[in-house]
Amino acid sequence: MAAIIYSVLPILVALAYGAYLIWLVWSEKLKEKYISYHLVLFVVLLVFSIVPRSADAMSKAFGFHLTANFLLAGGVFILLLICLSLAKNLSTSEERIRRLAEEVALLRQEVDSLTCEGERSRE
C-alpha cells in the first residue's frame, strides 16, 4: 500500500503542477516568456515521476552516487537560474519605472506651463 502511494504521489504532484500551469496560461496570468521554463520543468518532473529509472540513469550519467543527491543538486541549480533571470527582469522593470516617473514629471511640468500660459493669455 505504502509503495503504491510513494509511486503515485510524485505523479499527482507533477500533474497538479501541470494543471496549475495550464490554468495560468488559459487565464492569461502568465506571460509567454515565463511559461517556457516551467513547461520544461513540468515535462522533466512528469518523466521522472512516471519512470523513476530515468532519474537513476541520468544521475549515473552525471556521476552521482545517489539519485537523491542528483535531484537536490539539479533542483538547486535550476532554482538559481530562475532566481537570476527573475532578478534580471526585475532590474529592467525598475529601470523602466524610474524612466516612466521622470517622463510623468516632465509631462506635468509641460502641462503646468501650458495652463499658466493659457491663464495669462485670458487675462
Partner 1 sequence: MAVGGVKGKSIVTSTLVIVPAWNEEETIASCLRDIKNSLPAADIVVVNDGSTDNTSEEVRSSGVDVTLLEQPFNLGVGAAMRLGYLYSSRHGYTYTCQVDADGQHDPSYIEAMISHLRQTGSDLVVGSRFAGEGAYRARGPRRWAMVVLSKWLSRICQARLTDTTSGFKVSNARATEILSRRMPAEYLGDTLDSLVILAKEGCKISEVAVSMRERQGGVPSHSPLKAAIFLFRAFFSVSLYVIYRRNG
Q: Are 45 and 14 in contact (CB under 8 A)?
A: yes
Per-residue binding string, partner 1, 5-24, x by CB under 8 A, is -----------------x--
Shortest Cβ 51–partner 1 spacing (Å):
25
Which of 1, 3, 33, 63 binds partner 1 (CB under 8 A)? It is 33
Is 86 exposed, middle or buried (CB count within 10 Å of its CB: 0-12, 13-18, 19+)? exposed
47-106 binders of partner 1 (CB under 8 A): 96, 99-100, 103
Contact by Cβ (8 Å): 64, 32: no
Q: In this structure, are residues 48 and 54 in contact, taking their beta carbons and an 8 Å threshold?
A: yes
Tell the smallest beta-carbon distance from residue 10 to partner 1 (Å). Answer: 25
Instruction: Pick the binder of partner 1 from 6, 9, 31, 51 (CB under 8 A).
Output: 31
Closest CB to partner 1 among residues 28, 123: 28
Residue-level length of the chain: 123
Q: Would you tell me how many other CB atoms lie within 10 Å of the CB of residue 30?
A: 14
Q: Which residues form the interface with partner 1 (CB under 8 A)?
A: 22, 25-28, 31-33, 35-36, 96, 99-100, 103
